[in-house]
């Protein structure tokens, strides 16, 4: 069985959410980050950087939430057939971790970046319910988790982005979200 390693309030919850969405059984291994379990030799063999999340799937080890999401989508038949559509999903997963997360959650960037990031997302969600169209997918787990963390962690006024607010509400009501992220 796949093992997912994480800590309290870590990005492991994003992977948990996606595993719940696609119905893949897993064992969650909670590391006590305060006690430094993520820096012990046993865990450093899984992720030499000592960060969470990481997975062990048989003999295969992988870390970085975006890479894990893409691996799971590919392995479990959740990626589209064409290279172009796959590249768009990689684009969104990369955007979530490299652009959206730092733009919103790094305080020095927030005031400047929030409108640049949320206005185009709002326009997308005015036209369609999910990033890639009518169906929830791995891109939504990556981007949606970052957006859903805004009301959980920050006191940002999102009223200028009503379609983003509706999207956050829509994904937050999903049973897999509640057990994956809501249960973190």
User: Residue 183 above 70 pLDDT?
Assistant: no
Q: Sheet holding 60-63: strands in order across? A: 26-30, 2-6, 54-57, 60-63
Residues in the chain: 184
pLDDT in tens, 5-18: 999 889 999 999 99
Tokens of 50: 């000592």
Q: Give the H/E segment covering residue 55.
A: strand 54-57
Q: What pTM, to 2 d.p., does this model score?
A: 0.96
60 - beta bridge partners? 57
Q: How far apart are the C-alpha atoms of 141 and 97, rounded to whole Å?
A: 11
Percent of the chain clearing pLDDT 90 (strictly above)? 96
Which pLDDT does position 8 carry in this prediction?
87
Average pLDDT over residues 135-144: 98
Whole-number Å distance between alpha carbons of 17 and 15: 5
What pLDDT was estimated at residue 62? 98
3-state secondary structure at position 156: coil
pLDDT value of position 182: 75
């Amino acid at each position: 069985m796949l093992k997912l390693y994480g800590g309290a309030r870590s990005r492991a919850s994003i992977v948990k959410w996606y595993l719940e969405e696609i119905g893949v059984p897993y064992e969650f291994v909670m590391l006590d980050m305060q006690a430094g379990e993520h820096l012990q030799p046993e865990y450093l063999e899984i992720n030499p950087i000592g960060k969470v999340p990481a997975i062990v799937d048989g003999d295969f080890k992988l870390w970085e939430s975006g890479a894990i999401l893409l691996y799971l989508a590919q392995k479990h038949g959740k990626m589209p057939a064409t290279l172009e559509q796959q590249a768009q999903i990689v684009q969104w997963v990369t955007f979530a971790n490299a652009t959206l997360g730092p733009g919103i959650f790094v305080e020095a960037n927030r005031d400047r970046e929030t409108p640049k990031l949320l206005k185009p997302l709002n326009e997308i969600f005015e036209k369609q319910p999910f990033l890639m169209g009518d169906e929830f997918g791995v891109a939504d787990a990556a981007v949606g988790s970052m957006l859903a963390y805004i009301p959980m962690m920050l006191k940002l006024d999102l009223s200028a982005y009503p379609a983003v607010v509706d999207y956050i509400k829509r994904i937050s009501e999903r049973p897999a979200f509640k057990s994956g992220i809501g249960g973190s």
